Amino acid sequence: MHHRAYFSVAGVLCLFALVSYAGASSIAFDTAGDSAYSPLILPPIGTNGGFGWGGGWTFPTANPGQPKTVYSLSLGSSPSGNINSPATPQGRAWSIPGTGAQPINDFAARPFNGALSIGQTFMVDFDLHESLSGSDLVLTGPSQTGWEYNYFVSSNSIGHYIIQVFGGSAVDTGLPISAAGVHIEFTPIDSATAQMSLTSFDPSHASASFLLNNLPVAQMEVYNGARDYPVYFNNIAITPEPLGISLIAAAGAMLLLNRPQLPARS
């Protein structure tokens, strides 16, 4: 191959990598143990612990006209300790308190700094505990209204975790709700397919994994519809870099390194 062709191919590969990466989410992580939440200042609008996110916590409402009388993100301790930081009953997790008798903004949301790309994984530790009445982990595109979703994880009438996909039927995972909590991962596999898996923190470490339609995900939300019980969650992360981007960039670099040498001038 002529040396100009090597430069052209290498340049296209590297440019493709940069353009692809520009629209994808960064590697990100946050935990309730971060010093940004010591103490958690109320209202916690914009509190931005960890790294790599598209901004701090926001609080969409089920109805855009609903007054935000109480901002719902709090610190607590999941009773089992499995999802806490550190992982003991004395550790910390985020919680959405029960609504009680007063109006409350039930959603806490964290935006990504780009939509998940193929091969990236969003993960979270989640504990519905005793809050079984319409409480959810929600994955969606950027949204100002809490009821908008592409996916949510909730519970059904027989006490199992379920996965609901926008436009589809609910999937019973078969995993029972327990105080131990679950680890949830969501990964776009290709342009049409995504995978969601749940792994229990119970001693059995039972797990379930499902292939779903791939819909855009650029924000996570947690909602508590229960009156008397909190929902706990912690350890949110996005990893790794978008699949193939590093390989494409590396391929371009290798072409440049291995390009034919020009003949020496006499």
How many whole angstroms separate alpha carbon 251 and alpha carbon 233? 40
- Predicted pLDDT at 200: 95
pLDDT digits (tens, 9 = 90+) for 64-82: 555 554 567 888 899 899 9
Rg for the chain, CA atoms, rounded: 22
Same domain, 184 and 142: yes
Assess if residue 84 is contained within a domain: yes
DSSP per-residue letters across 127-196: E-TT--SS-EEEEESS-SBTT--SEEEEE-TTSEEEEEETTS--EEEEEEP-TT-EEEEEEE-SSSEEEE
Query: Of 66, 44, 238, whose CA–CA distance to 146 is shortest?
Result: 66
Query: Of 57, 54, 69, 62, whose CA–CA distance to 145 is shortest?
Result: 62
Same domain, 219 and 248: no
Assess if residue 3 is contained within a domain: yes
Same domain, 138 and 175: yes
Same domain, 103 and 172: yes
How many whole angstroms separate alpha carbon 65 and alpha carbon 107? 14
Same domain, 211 and 161: yes
Helices 245-257 and 3-22: angle between axes, nearest 10 degrees: 160
According to the per-residue pLDDT averaged within each range, which of 1-15, 157-171, 232-246 is highest?
Answer: 157-171
Q: What is the number of structural domains in the chain?
A: 2
Q: Is 64 strand, coil or helix?
A: coil
How many whole angstroms separate alpha carbon 89 and alpha carbon 102? 28
Same domain, 216 and 155: yes
Same domain, 57 and 109: yes
Same domain, 178 and 249: no
Q: Which residues contact 55 (CB under 8 A, 6 or more apart)?
A: 46, 48, 110, 111, 113
Same domain, 13 and 129: no
Assess if residue 221 is contained within a domain: yes
Same domain, 102 and 119: yes
In this structure, are residues 254 and 263 in contact, taking their beta carbons and an 8 Å threshold? Answer: no
- Predicted pLDDT at 125: 97
- Domain extent at residue 205: 27-240
Q: Which residues contact 52 (CB under 8 A, 6 or more apart)?
A: 25, 26, 27, 28, 29, 113, 238
Same domain, 231 and 255: no
Assess if residue 266 is contained within a domain: no
- Predicted pLDDT at 13: 35
* This prediction's pTM: 0.80
Q: 15-19, 193-197, 206-210: which range is least confident on average? A: 15-19
Q: Is 224 strand, coil or helix?
A: coil
Specify the CATH number for the domain of residue 166. 2.60.120.200
Same domain, 154 and 181: yes
For CA atoms 189, 191, 193, 198, give the dihedral sign. positive
Assess if residue 114 is contained within a domain: yes
